[in-house]
Amino acid sequence: ILPLSSPSIVAALSGSRLVQLRPVLPLATSRRRKSARPGSNPANTWSNLLYVALGVLMWSEARRLGRRDLAVFGPASVLVGLFSWVYHASYTYFFQFFDFVGMFVFCFLPLALNARRLGWIRPGRELAFQAAGVVGFSAAVPVLFELGFPIQALVFVLIVAIVAQELALRARSAD
């Protein structure tokens, strides 16, 4: 079994015809991707600017409504968009690291806010909780990369954790 980040194309027989199975995850997690031509994925590159535009809109609307709790999502979205834009424009491992950092920043934001709502952390400790999570997960990226672990799975774990927190909050409010 090839790792999900493998750049190889695997041939498999399906009935009587040959089917090409391509890796599920982007090739940037492989060492071969370091030599990819910059700007070789313009659709993903330019579509990331939507995160920037929507982040500015979220930040502006949250400020207009006086919602400081929601205002932090705007800058996080801008960061995701900028880091992802640079990564997709370059396709280098160096910038892919920051692409993941942006995703960690965004994912740890609702995790931190929900941790406060669930009583796991004291009010005012959300930023420290988020920063610790981002630093910890970011520090794990190079180690897990060397082990062949699909780094995208970390983002999946964070999403599952967010959904679990939301379900716990929903169950609590139903009582």
Give 37's DSSP letter: P
Distance of alpha carbon 102 from alpha carbon 89, whole angstroms: 15
pTM above 0.85, yes or no: no
Radius of gyration of the chain (CA): 19
Walking along the chain (175 residues) 10 residues at a time, the average pLDDT comes out as: 33 34 41 51 84 95 92 95 92 92 97 97 96 97 94 96 97 88
- pLDDT for res 41: 73
- pLDDT for res 38: 55
Distance of alpha carbon 113 from alpha carbon 106, whole angstroms: 12
- pLDDT for res 44: 80
Distance of alpha carbon 15 from alpha carbon 21, whole angstroms: 14
Cα separations in angstroms, 25 against 29, 55, 64, 136? 8, 26, 39, 23
Nearby residues of 96 by Cβ (< 8 Å), 6 or more positions away: 28, 29, 33, 87
HSE on the CB side for 14, CA within 13 Å?
7
Q: Which two tokens stand for residue 135?
A: 């630093």
